[in-house]
């Protein structure tokens, strides 16, 4: 049975591999899209809003405070974004593989279920290798991840044991950056509309 599995790939396995490759491309494109959004928001806020609109409305005294606050949060968000992307999410460590090899048949392996199985090793049906509790197989990355949460296309990486903190920081700092941008721009929107309408009326009269 094992020789036949090695010699011929099952249709289900081929479909899983094709899905993984397709989703990898989508995930990578989403990651670059998120990176472009970070750059775009920074350029628009610093160049257009702080550089043009704020002085135009006569409130240039707020520019320094807004620039410092926004860019501090933006840098923290980008830092968390990069760390969550490039950190090892929690691939099974070499120490676990050595432990499994040394334990051999004495290692108790419980049947895998869709529930938390505390202090029980389970057999991954994809990797065909024992995994510790709360480790799950990512069909996108084709490996088991410790304390697997999900595969996030925005960071093009799994969220697991080693980068879960950075993912949460990314969510918090991105939310705070967006909140600051909205809180500082939306109240000035009516003033911008009135100023532009007045400038348009003066130009029409001239």
Which residue numbers are catalytic? 152
CA dist 115 and 195 (Å) reads: 60
CA dist 95 and 109 (Å) reads: 18
CA dist 94 and 97 (Å) reads: 5
- Checking 67-76 for CB contacts under 8 A at 24+ apart, the result is 69/180, 70/45, 70/46, 70/177, 70/180, 70/181, 70/184, 71/42, 71/46, 73/173, 73/176, 73/177, 73/180, 74/38, 74/41, 74/42, 74/177, 76/169, 76/173
User: Running DSSP on this structure, what letter comes out for residue 104?
Assistant: G
Q: Judge whether 164 and 148 are in contact, CB under 8 Å.
A: no
């Amino acid at each position: 049975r094992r020789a036949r599995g090695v010699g011929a790939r099952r249709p289900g396995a081929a479909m899983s591999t094709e899905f993984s490759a397709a989703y990898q491309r989508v995930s990578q494109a989403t990651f670059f899209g998120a990176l472009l959004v970070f750059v775009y928001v920074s350029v628009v806020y610093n160049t257009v809003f702080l550089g043009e609109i704020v002085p135009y409305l006569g409130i240039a005294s707020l520019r320094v405070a807004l620039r410092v606050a926004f860019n501090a949060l933006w840098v923290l968000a980008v830092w968390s974004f990069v760390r969550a992307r490039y950190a090892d999410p929690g691939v099974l460590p070499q120490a676990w593989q050595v432990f499994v090899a040394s334990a051999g048949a004495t290692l108790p392996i419980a049947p895998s279920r869709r529930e938390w199985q505390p202090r029980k090793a389970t057999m991954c049906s994809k990797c065909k290798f024992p995994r510790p509790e709360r480790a799950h197989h990512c069909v996108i990355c084709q490996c088991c991840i410790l304390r697997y949460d999900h595969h996030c296309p925005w960071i093009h990486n799994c969220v697991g044991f080693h980068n879960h903190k950075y993912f949460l920081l990314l969510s918090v700092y991105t939310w705070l950056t967006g909140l600051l941008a909205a809180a500082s721009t939306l109240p000035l929107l009516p003033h911008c509309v009135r100023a532009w309408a007045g400038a348009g009326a003066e130009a029409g009269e001239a």
